[in-house]
Amino acid sequence: MPMAQDWAALGYPPQCAHALRFLAMDAVQKANSGHPGMPMGMADVATVLWNGFLRYNPANPAWLNRDRFVLSAGHGSMLLYGLLHLSGYDLPMSELENFRQLGSKTPGHPEYGHTPGVEITTGPLGQGVSAAVGMALAERWLAARFNLPGHEVVDHLTWVICSDGDLMEGVSHEACSLAGHLRLSRLIVLYDDNGITIDGSTKLAFSEDVPARFAAYGWSVLRVDGHDPRAIERALHEAVSRARAPDGRPTMIACRTVIGYGAPTLAGTEKTHGSPLGAAEIAGARKALGWDWAPFTMPEPLLAFWRKNLARGAAAEQEWEVQFDAYAREVPREANELKRIAQRQPHAAWEGPLNGLREKWRTDPGADATRAWSGKVLEVLVPAHPDLLGGSGDLTPSNNTRIAAHKDIAPGAFGGRYVRFGVREHGMAAILNGLALHGGVVPYAGTFLVFSDYMRPSIRLAALMGLQVIYVFTHDSIGLGEDGPTHQPVEHYAALRAIPGLRVWRPADARETLEAWEAALRHTRGPSALLLSRQKVPSLPGTGVGAGQGGYIVAPPPGGLPCRTLLLGTGSELQLAVRAQALLAADKIGAQVVSLPCFEAFREQPEFYRGQVLPSEVTCRVAVEAGVSQGWDEFIGPKGMFIGLSTFGASAPYEKIFAERGITVEAVVEAVKKGVG
Ligand SMILES: Cc1ncc(C[n+]2csc(CCOP(=O)(O)OP(=O)(O)O)c2C)c(N)n1
């Protein structure tokens, strides 16, 4: 039980943390849903952090050099809303009264871009703490790029509150392992070690020594009684000094807490985790904690104490501004770049060099795998686009994600521009989110397309948050051949296209690959996935111009033939449509070849344009793509035919698999002949 004198010794009003507890209890009670237990348990730790350590300016949530705060256990959202409200962010009490209601700024789980001061959308356990690794990496990366001796203009910490569930999830194991390896010392994780999850005691399913595991990852580990303000303050002091220590270890503080702290009969039990405590229990808590105020009212002296953070934050930012001005006098160009980053303006100097490559590829660039063309695009883009930070999940030579000039980021050395993520696809995807959230980084990373399944929860969050993250997914079909069905994506195009807001590009050749990269760089408000072939594909006449619109006519019917059929394709199968067109022309059947490298971009085109590409009167349509048919009906219509896969692939040379599965020119021709009657 925290004693009033413990708070007083720190200069805090005795009930400063109870303010958070009652906001959580009352808001959950009023909404008749939500999670009071975790905010009640972590209120003391959060109070010391937000009043004594976290550097932030409630009046300017976008301040570049603010500490980042991640509430990884997003179900405890009322803790965050309470902190934001009390410390003076633009989140009035009326919003807390409307917790979990339609249109309120206080949704069930924190949502990035929706509530001022919310740095990241959390709720799926494990994602927040893992993305925080990306934020901490972004901070060190920008520090290496911009800081000068005596001018530490990028210099902040990344703080996380996470729960048992966060640390059970595999994604956090991957990301925290990499954080230890890379020596991301500016990362401090406060683990709400309350021994309770939804089912009951963590002992039911979780018996490892978590601090020992983190120590083995290379982290500094501290333990603290999460209800002893003085001990919390000492631990946070220690963590901050370790964050700047030369050994470069991230820090985890295991905070021993009682879930639902203050609830007279339910504290310490799973019953406080995810439901309202009930009027009687809350009344009992008011008595036990000496809280006499009605729901959603805050005694003036307590509010005044919390609101000191407005002045403190303004002073912290002001102090940084002075530092920044001195930096700008020394290196005005770098200062302007940082200003651009602070304003979240995209870099643009890559456009010229990319145009140069486009010009070069106007005449036939030849045959190669689209992953190889992507590598060549990166050779041009990386030197021209300083915000690009690349990487791969241990498939660098296969993904063609690293250019000759790339230098690796290494433990404690952040001057490189390439991350070796190791075999940690899920952690990689979450870290990419954190890099993008931080700002100043356009992250891209590769793996095999089939393993996008391992990344899906983080990809979904990137789409939900509207983050510019670029996935380089190579080995995009049965065309990868001998590695066989474990490695051959089949349902993955459809599965990725099903994620709202994700742009899925499957370019057919060199020119389309370039256009896909350009589109991904221009699409700053959401993620893009580039699906690239392992096998060589020819450069097709007519590709390139128009590809950026997501769908376009590659070849109208030849020789003035009337258009009787549409042949639609993507990626390595577009060549089948092109070859079928010629065979059909010999039989006087006019076919229009349409490439659809990106469904999502095509849908956004004006109706008249879509009507030109896919004329409504032409109902005989054949689509060819080496995947399942889901998603194609929209483009081929009720009379359309689809040539693809409905089973897994096989281990064999790829030409044999395509032939055996019937994804051939002949199949396209035959389908058309059946369709035109
Ligand atoms: C990936 C994922 N799986 C399941 C859930 C549902 N869920 C919400 S909280 C929770 C566990 C709660 O335990 P803990 O993380 O220790 O939080 P506490 O009970 O201490 O608040 C679960 C399973 C989730 N949010 N995310």
Per DSSP, the residues of 221-241 read EEEEETT-HHHHHHHHHHHHH
Tell which of 292, 314, 336 closes a domain.
314
Q: What is the pLDDT of residues 278-293, one digit of tens each?
A: 999 999 999 999 999 9
User: At 677, is the pLDDT very low, low, confident or very high (cuts 50, 70, 90)?
Assistant: confident
* 11 is a domain residue: no
Q: Is 425 a catalytic residue?
A: yes
Determine the pLDDT at residue 546: 97
Q: What is the pLDDT of residues 11-67, one digit of tens each?
A: 999 999 999 999 999 999 999 999 999 999 999 999 999 999 999 999 999 999 999
Q: 165 CA distance to ligand 1 centroid (A)?
A: 5
* 525 is a domain residue: yes
Q: 247 CA distance to ligand 1 centroid (A)?
A: 33
Q: Which CATH number characterizes residue 582's domain?
A: 3.40.50.920
Please give the number of the atom of ligand 1 that sits closest to the Cα of 168.
Answer: 15
Q: 462 CA distance to ligand 1 centroid (A)?
A: 20
Determine the pLDDT at residue 4: 77
Tell which of 509, 537, 565 closes a domain.
537
Which residues have any ligand 1 atom within 6 Å of their CB?
A: 37-38, 73, 75-76, 123-125, 163-165, 169, 192, 194, 196-198, 259, 273
What the block records as the tokens of 302 is: 């307590």
Determine the pLDDT at residue 292: 95
* 509 is a domain residue: yes
Q: What is the pLDDT of residues 173-200, one digit of tens each?
A: 999 999 999 999 999 999 999 999 999 9
Same domain, 120 and 167: yes
* 455 is a domain residue: yes
Percent above pLDDT 70 for the chain: 100
Q: Which CATH number characterizes residue 520's domain?
A: 3.40.50.970
Burial class (CB in 10 A: 0-12, 13-18, 19+), 466: middle
Same domain, 513 and 554: no
User: At 2, is the pLDDT very low, low, confident or very high (cuts 50, 70, 90)?
Assistant: low
Same domain, 585 and 455: no
Same domain, 434 and 569: no
Same domain, 308 and 361: no
Residue nearest atom 9 in ligand 1 by C-alpha distance: 75
What the block records as the tokens of 184 is: 């991301």
DSSP secondary structure of 46-101: HHHHHHHT----TT-TT-TTSPEEEESSGGGHHHHHHHHHHHT-S--HHHHHTTT-
Same domain, 638 and 533: no
Mutate to test the pocket of ligand 1, among 121, 191, 197 (most ligand atoms within 8 A of CB): 197
Residue nearest atom 19 in ligand 1 by C-alpha distance: 197
DSSP secondary structure of 127-180: HHHHHHHHHHHHHHHHHHHH-BTTB--S---EEEEEEHHHHHSHHHHHHHHHHH
User: At 470, is the pLDDT very low, low, confident or very high (cuts 50, 70, 90)?
Assistant: very high
Same domain, 70 and 32: yes
Same domain, 146 and 46: yes
Mutate to test the pocket of ligand 1, among 40, 109, 163, 173 (most ligand atoms within 8 A of CB): 163
Residue nearest atom 8 in ligand 1 by C-alpha distance: 75
| pLDDT of residue 644 exceeding 60 | yes
| pLDDT of residue 1 exceeding 70 | no
Q: Which residues pair with 162 in a beta bridge?
A: 191
Q: 73 CA distance to ligand 1 centroid (A)?
A: 7
For residues 518-540, give the mean pLDDT: 98
User: At 5, is the pLDDT very low, low, confident or very high (cuts 50, 70, 90)?
Assistant: confident
Same domain, 605 and 484: no
What mean pLDDT value characterizes the chain? 97
Tell which of 537, 566, 595 closes a domain.
537
* 558 is a domain residue: yes
Same domain, 154 and 215: yes
Q: 168 CA distance to ligand 1 centroid (A)?
A: 9
* 226 is a domain residue: yes
Q: 201 CA distance to ligand 1 centroid (A)?
A: 13
Please give the number of the atom of ligand 1 that sits closest to the Cα of 457.
Answer: 1
* 344 is a domain residue: no
Same domain, 518 and 662: no
Please give the number of the atom of ligand 1 that sits closest to the Cα of 169.
Answer: 1
For residues 471-489, give the mean pLDDT: 97
Q: What is the pLDDT of residues 156-180, one digit of tens each?
A: 999 999 999 999 999 999 999 999 9
Residue nearest atom 21 in ligand 1 by C-alpha distance: 38
* 375 is a domain residue: yes
For residues 232-256, give the mean pLDDT: 96
What the block records as the tokens of 148 is: 């000068």
Mutate to test the pocket of ligand 1, among 72, 78, 125 (most ligand atoms within 8 A of CB): 125
Report the C-alpha gap between 594 and 569 in whole angstroms: 7
Q: What is the pLDDT of residues 375-419, one digit of tens each?
A: 999 999 999 999 999 999 999 999 999 999 999 999 999 999 999
Three-class SS state of 256:
strand
Report the C-alpha gap between 136 and 185 in whole angstroms: 8
- Count how many domains the chain has: 3
For residues 315-322, give the mean pLDDT: 98
Determine the pLDDT at residue 215: 98
Same domain, 651 and 515: no
List the domain range (segments joined by +) for residue 269: 18-314
Determine the pLDDT at residue 656: 97
Looking at 174, 281, 317, 425, which residue is catalytic?
425
